[in-house]
Amino acid sequence: MQKRLSGYDISIATAILLEIILLFNTKNLLGQTANSILYALCSISIGILLLLKYYNKHVELASGHSSEKMRQETYFSAVKIVVPILIIWLIYLHYDILSQMPIDPKKSDVIPMVQYMVQRFVHGEYVYKAIYDFGYFLSPTYMPLHWMPFTIAEICKFDYRWVAFCLWISASILLLVRTFKTNIHACIFVLLILSLFYYAIYRFDRNVIAYTLELTIAAYYILLIISINQTSAVYAGLGIALCVMSRYSLVLWLPLWFLVTILSREKKYTLTVIATVIVVVISVYVIPFLSKDWHIYSNTLNQYYRAAIGEWENLSIFTWKPYQLYAGTGFAHLFYESLQDWELADKIKRLQKVHFLVSIGITVVMGTWYWFNRKKIYPRIFLMASFKIYFTLFLAFIQVPYIYLMIVANFVSIAIFSEQMRYKITASKV
């Protein structure tokens, strides 16, 4: 059992705290550009610190507690008491938001769109047909695992947002249990930071909870980080499938995952993971939905483009700048401010191209680095670090940097810190 946190661990933990502060508290103090740059650098540093910690080191799984040692640990009793108290506190915060902020399509169409999709699914209607009931044309964009979990809420007639909360709290508890087995100090930090981050959302931007279901996506990405560190190929495949079937963010990183996995694991493992992902994609998306309308993907891209136009035209009455572009993160505002002679639509298209090139570029760069250093870095550590770096840049150049998208990246940071504590350095490589 590991007892202490290393200097790298403390540095990563500090970066996670700064990441949260920069997400909520500093945009008015530092300004949009400085805050965006610092937030991105802070996020990227988490991946870099992880690589530095384990580079050219012999790595193995940390040993777990024996049952007798667990009973003797004073921390063990404290954790057993604190966890239920914190869960009750988080439930109260969640209830407080839901009771004061009902679902309202005039403020956000995110949850209403999910409701339409689920209701159609429950009644046997085609899910992905256009919606006109909001006073404008809306093409459903969400992948199946973004809305399917809420079927139970529709059938049982309770608030969809409780499903998102339960998924997130379940993934968080699984993360804590895994960390507790190898490092109690890290478990306590993860427990506190998860709770404090949720409170920060409650305190500074409760719209994230009230008007989105992003805790669902956060749960999926926590499970993805956990799945990277599982020996089971099926679990690894399910972790990837959950993310692919809920949002496209992961797709451009997957070639890097394939390179690392095929070089470091048996071919059977890699093929089993791929087969698992394919089975899930075909069974929950291709056969029931995509096969009935092969234009779903192009409709989704067109809807994202139309939504971006709307957000870039939605000016704050205080600054007369697009509110979502100046919420504190992302580099979309730089494209809005530059290219003065360009039409708004052309600016967005330029950002889309840069977004794609940056995402592909960082994947190629990290893949090249891994090829030449694959004997000096533990594969699972590299996958976590590379995903954090990729995900940071993917979100930094996204066409509308909604804060609710960024909270997923922060939860990824916490999950990475937690999971990397499952490993210990035994010696430096010669």
Q: What is the pLDDT of residue 298?
A: 79
- Model confidence pLDDT, tens digit, residues 325-337: 999 999 999 999 8
pLDDT tens digits, one per residue of 274-317? 999 999 999 999 999 988 888 887 777 788 888 889 889 888 88
Residue 137's pLDDT band, with cuts at 50, 70 and 90, is confident
Question: pLDDT at position 74, please?
Answer: 65
Residues whose CB falls within 8 Å of the CB of residue 103, separated by 6 or more in sequence, listed in order = 111, 112, 115, 159, 160, 161, 210, 211
58 pairs with which residues across the strands? 427
DSSP assignment of 51-76 equals HHHHTTEEEEEPP---HHHHHH-HHH
Mean pLDDT value of segment 182-202: 92
CA distance 393 to 396: 5
Domain boundaries, the chain: 7-428
Q: Is it the case that residue 69 has pLDDT exceeding 80? A: no
And the tokens for 167? 């998924």
Q: Which tens digits make up the pLDDT trace of 334-381?
A: 999 887 788 888 999 999 999 999 999 999 999 999 999 999 999 999
pLDDT of 128 over the 70 cut: yes
pTM: 0.94
- Residue-wise pLDDT tens digits, 2-40: 557 888 999 999 999 999 999 987 887 889 999 999 999
Tokens of 293: 């309308």
Instruction: Express each pLDDT in 406-420 by its tens digit.
Output: 999 999 999 999 999
Residue identified by tokens 């981050």 is 197
pLDDT at 166: 97
Region for residue 157 given its phi and psi (left: phi exceeds 0; alpha: psi -120 to 50; beta: otherwise): left
Please tell me the distance from the alpha carbon of residue 381 to that of residue 264, in angstroms, as a whole number: 12
Which pLDDT value is given to residue 67? Answer: 45
Dump the DSSP string for 220-237.
HHHHHHHHHT-S-HHHHH
pLDDT of residue 72: 45
In this structure, are residues 414 and 192 in contact, taking their beta carbons and an 8 Å threshold?
Answer: no
pLDDT tens column, 212-253: 999 999 999 999 999 999 999 999 999 999 999 998 899 999
State yes or no: pLDDT of 42 exceeds 70.
yes
**Among all chains, which residue has been given the structure tokens 């279901």?**
213
Q: Which helix (H) or strand (E) holds 423?
A: strand 423-428
User: Mean pLDDT, the chain, as a whole number?
Assistant: 91
